[in-house]
Amino acid sequence: MPLWLQARCGLEPRNVVALTALLVLAAVLAAQHFWTGRTESVRAPEAVRAVVPYGGRGESGQAASGTSAAPPGVGASPGPGIVVDVSGKVRHPGIRRLPAGSRVADALRAAGGVRPGVETDGLNRARFLVDGEQVVVGGPAQAAGAPAGSAAGGAVGPGAAGAPATPVSLNTATADQLETLPGVGPVLAQHIVDYRTRHGGFRSVDQLREVTGIGDRRFADLRPLVRP
């Protein structure tokens, strides 16, 4: 500053230096505030699509959008597991927990496989299993048309232990007594009761063939075990 201005304002040199430094600092802060508060252009975010693995295509041959295709042979969401009882002539009989959708072959594999020399001709290894069923290997062949509750002679219902000692009366037997017959479950027993109710009873054993669910083979098995 000129000496005449300093003398007129009564400022000393050190005051002038301090005032100058303060003005410079204020200018720097103002410039920084202006720079940080300036407006900037903002770009809209781009849409991102999920990547489908190579070869992962839907049934129509086009890649699925937003989800990746499951590997071949694997379901989209596996259901809960099932519990089955594998008994008979297997290496390790017992209770087995299997994934839902398992087949009889999976149950046999979980039990260590069938013992050597055991006949499995009457065993449908491709049949799907249901929760709580029993798979018996090496038992007597299951009657044709019997409910699919077991494999290879697996017992289903109270009558699976064996045929009744005396012929069962078709006209007087209860549904529970009819279920003691081989291959007769609750549904078929109720069909027999309904038939005799509608027709006033059985006049001969041959009328049993007219009951819904009884074919020629089952009738041949039941004929010596029942009477009118």
Phi and psi dihedrals of 225, rounded to 5?
A: -105, -5
Residue range 221-225: average pLDDT? 88
Confidence bin at 203 (pLDDT 50/70/90):
confident
* pLDDT reading at 106 higher than 90: yes
Cβ–Cβ < 8 Å for 143, 221? yes
Phi and psi dihedrals of 30, rounded to 5?
A: -65, -40
Phi and psi dihedrals of 207, rounded to 5?
A: -65, -15
0.85 surpassed by pTM: no
* pLDDT reading at 5 higher than 50: yes
Residue range 196-209: average pLDDT? 88
**Distance between CA atoms of residues 142 and 148, nearest Å:** 9
Percentage of residues of the chain with pLDDT beyond 70: 64
Reduce the DSSP state of residue 103 to 3 states and report it.
Answer: strand
**Distance between CA atoms of residues 187 and 167, nearest Å:** 20
What pLDDT, on the 0 to 100 scale, is given for residue 143?
38
The C-alpha torsion from 167 through 170 and 173 to 174, rounded to 10°, is: 130
What pLDDT, on the 0 to 100 scale, is given for residue 192?
92
Q: Which residues pair with 151 in a beta bridge?
A: 135
Specify the higher pLDDT residue, 213 or 164: 213
Q: One-letter amino acid identity for 14? A: R
- Between the two ends of the chain, the Cα-to-Cα distance in Å is 136
In this structure, are strands 82-88 and 94-98 parallel, antiparallel, or unpaired?
antiparallel
Q: Degrees (nearest 5) of the Cα angle 174, 140, 160? A: 20
Give pLDDT tens digits for 60-104: 444 344 444 444 444 434 457 899 999 888 889 999 999 988 999
What pLDDT, on the 0 to 100 scale, is given for residue 157?
39
What pLDDT, on the 0 to 100 scale, is given for residue 107?
92
Give pLDDT tens digits for 20-59: 888 888 888 888 877 777 776 666 666 555 444 444 444 4
Cβ–Cβ < 8 Å for 218, 145? yes
| Range with the poorest average pLDDT among 56-65, 122-131, 158-167 | 56-65
